[in-house]
Chains A and B, each alone.
Chain A
């Protein structure tokens, strides 16, 4: 969605147009949910947080000044909500690579399509992804947040900088450092599993 279309949509939302709100939800909920579910490891909590994010947008949209930063503003609300809920997350630890759906803890990888791979490939890939998740869990919170926003939030680094309210250079430095650490951890893990 280009900036002009988004700005027009925001204006319609501000006027209380329900169909505009539906369009806005359709546009963003999946990216918000992906980030939230990876950050919270709980499908229900992620759904609640995304819903809460949109409700806050409804309440605060009158005060929002459109400067082409809607996406950053939207994600900032969610990032803050996730941060506020981090205490409750620590009470319900979930293994990396898993997500809570209802009362069950399900591997994220289980539902992934494994097209074009050998019969052993899904298992190898599952192990690989499990290790990757485990490595990500070990990253400092802010570094991990940058990677989650980039991959699951599908945000450009410039938008991430706006969302986290820090310079682009800082965001890129965090991403570079985090990716370097991940690579090292994945190589070490790969050697120990052999």
Chain B
């Protein structure tokens, strides 16, 4: 709460004659003035001083009606013009904001498209590169496999193992029917061996 101003007697009297003293303060002043003769003298002098101010010529009494209206209209016109200018500026600023906003969004979208296109191209290149590598690998693998022993070799191995087994069991002999039969089996087995392209060329070691 704001503290009330502490005023001297003359200041309080001045407030009283100018009609600005509150009811409580006015009553307090009256009591003080009645109690002290010096205060009463000051209280009596105050209106006389203040009358000097009141005797100054009035405010706009000097102006005729036309001049008054002229001044007031001039002030109002000036204000209206400033208000109109302010509105125009605000409208222009709003449009400019809208335009810049649109431009920002458009450039953002364009930038996003460029980035997306860049990413897509890089991705596609990576896929193509990977595909090339895979193709090269499979080609190399095919070439490498073509240099290795094929199915024919496997069958020869199997036949060798079978002969080894028959020899172990003592089945390879020309004695009796059983020997013929075993020989026939051996011949059948030899017939079943299909010699493919992988058959070693002359000069190769092996078979």
Contact = CB atoms under 8 A, between A and B. Distances in A.
Does A pair with B?
A: yes
Interface of A: 16, 18, 21-22, 25-26, 29-31, 33-34, 47, 50-51, 54-55, 58-59, 99, 108-109, 111-113, 128-129, 132-133, 136, 147, 150-152, 154, 156-158, 167-169, 172-173, 175-176, 179-180, 182-183, 186
B52 A51 contact: no
A152 B59 contact: yes
Nearest to B6: A169
Contacts of A111: 61-64
A133 B60 CA distance: 16
A33 B54 CA distance: 18
Given A51-B75, A54-B79, A157 B62 contact: no
Contacts of B129: none
B73 to A, nearest CB: 9
B50 interface: yes
8 contacts: A16-B86, A18-B80, A151-B56, A152-B59, A157-B14, A157-B15, A180-B49, A182-B53
B164 interface: no
B71 to A, nearest CB: 5
B187 interface: no
State which size class the interface on B falls in. Answer: 35 or more
Given A47-B75, A172-B7, 7 more contacts: A16-B86, A18-B79, A21-B83, A25-B75, A55-B82, A157-B15, A169-B7
Q: Is the interface of A mostly helix, strand, loop or mixed?
A: helix
Contact of A25 (B11, B63, B72, B83): B72
B15 A51 contact: no
B118 interface: no
Contact of B82 (A58, A151, A173, A175): A58
Nearest to A26: B72
B52 A182 contact: yes
B76 interface: yes
B54 to A, nearest CB: 8
A179 B48 CA distance: 10
A26 B53 CA distance: 25
A18 B61 contact: no
B149 interface: no
B20 A157 contact: yes
A31 to B, nearest CB: 7
Contact of A176 (B14, B54, B80, B87): B14
A147 B82 CA distance: 33
Contacts of A30: 59-60, 68
Most chain A C-beta atoms within 10 Å of own C-beta, residue among B5, B57, B80: B57
Contacts of A154: 59
Contacts of A47: 71, 74-75
B122 to A, nearest CB: 53
A73 B48 CA distance: 31
A117 B80 CA distance: 44
A22 B80 CA distance: 9
Interface string B183-204: 0000000000000000000000
B18 interface: yes
Interface string B66-92: 001001101110111011001100000
Contacts of B87: 16
B55 interface: yes
